[in-house]
Amino acid sequence: MLGRTANGLYWMFRYIERAENSARLIDAGLRMSLTRSEATEDDWDGVLQSSGVRDIYDDLYDTLTSADAIDFLLRDKANPSSVMSCIDSGRNNARMVRTALTRETWEATNECWLDLKTMLARRVKPADLPEAIDAIKRKTALIRGAFHGTMLRNEIFNFSRIGTFIERADNTARILDVKYYVLLPAVSQVGSSIDNVQWESILRSVSAHRSYGWVYEAEYKPSNIADFLILNGRMPRSLAYCYDKIVSNLGYLAREYGEGHAAHATAEGTLSSLRNHSIKDVMDQGLHEYIENFISHNNRLGQEISDGYRFN
C-alpha cells in the first residue's frame, strides 16, 4: 500500500475519533461544572488545557467564557481539534482514499459531515447542548459501524484501527486529566459527595458508567475509576484496551510486510507497562504526571508510525 493511502486512512479515523472525543470532553466539562457550588468561567480553563488548545483560544478571545469555550470546541474552524474541523478533515481524508473504502463507509462519513454541518451552522443554545453532543456521538458511531461491518480485514483495516486507538487513548487520558488536573475540588472535599459525583461524571462522559458498576459493584472511588479507565483491558476506552489493539494491528502489518519498525517496540513497551503496573503505582507517581507522560509517549508512537510507514 502507498504511504499516502495509509496516511489518509490513519488520519481519517483519527479525526473521526477526535471529533467524538472533543464532544465527550465538552460533556465532561459540562457535567463537572454542574457539580460545583460556585461555578466560574475558569472551569473551562481545564477543558481547554486538557484538549491542548488554550493557546489558540487566547489568540482569538480576550476573556474566557463558557459560551465562547464551548463554541470554540464545537465549531470554530480556527481550532483544528473542534468537532467541525475534525469532521471536515476526516471527510477530506476519506475522499482522498475513497477507492479504499466500501460504499457504506463513505456514505456514513459523508452523511455525518452533512448533518453536523447543518447542526453546527450557528452557535448551539445551552439547552440544546446535550442533544448536540449525543448526535455527534451517534453520527461518528455510525461510521465505525459501517466500517466494521463491511471492510476486508487487511492493511486498510489495520491502519484505520491504529489511527482510531491512538486517538482514543490520547483522548481518554485527556478526559481523565480534566478531573484531576484542574477540576479537583479542595483537599477538604476529596472523598466527599462532591468529589464522588465528579468522578461519576467522568465515567458518564466516556460511556462507562454502567460497565463500571458491573466490574466493581461499589461506590465511586477515584482509584477504582482510574484503574478502570487506565488499566482494565476489557473496557473499550481504557488505555490498556487501546494499546492491546494497537499492538495487535501493528503485528498484522509486520507480518504483512515482513518487517517491523521502531513503532512496534514503542507500542509493545507501553502495553507491557500498562499490564505490569498497578493503580497504586500510578497514583504513587501522581495521576496527572502519569497522564502527561502517557500522552507524550503516545504522540511519539504516532510519529514513529508515520516515519516507519512513510506517510509523508
**pLDDT tens sequence across 4-36:** 999 999 999 999 999 999 998 898 888 777 766
The residue type found at 127 is A
Mean pLDDT of 50-70: 92
Give the mean pLDDT of 200-222.
84
Percent of the chain whose predicted confidence (pLDDT) is above 70? 91
How far is the C-alpha of 19 from the C-alpha of 119, rounded, in Å?
Answer: 14
> Is residue 77 pLDDT above 60, yes or no?
yes
Mean pLDDT of 135-160: 97
> Running DSSP on this structure, what letter comes out for residue 188?
G
pLDDT at residue 123 greater than cutoff 80: yes
User: pLDDT category, 217, cuts 50, 70, 90?
Assistant: confident
Is residue 173 over pLDDT 50?
yes
Q: Which domain holds residue 298?
A: 3-308
Percent of the chain with pLDDT over 90: 71
- Residue 39: the pLDDT is 57
- Between 250 and 197, the more confident residue is 250
> Which of 132-136, 179-183, 248-252, 297-301 has the weakest average pLDDT?
179-183
Tell me: pLDDT of 79 over 60.
yes
Residue 186 backbone zone (phi > 0: left; psi -120 to 50: alpha; other: beta): beta
Residue 61: is it exposed, middle or buried by C-beta count within 10 angstroms (0-12/13-18/19+)?
A: middle
pLDDT of residue 189: 47
Q: How far apart are CA 187 and CA 172, in angstroms?
A: 24
pLDDT at 181 over 90: no
Number of domains in the chain: 1
Rounded to 10 degrees, the C-alpha dihedral 164/169/174/176 comes to 130
Q: Hey, which of 8-17, 60-69, 211-220, 274-283 has the most confident mean pLDDT? A: 8-17
pLDDT, tens digit (0-9, with 9 covering 90-100), for 28-48: 888 777 766 565 666 788 788
Q: Report pLDDT for 38.
A: 60
Is the pLDDT confidence value at 227 over 70?
yes
Separation CA 94–CA 13 (nearest Å): 9
Who has greater pLDDT, 44 or 212?
212
Closest CA to 247 of 176, 166, 186, 144: 166
Averaged pLDDT for residues 283-309: 93
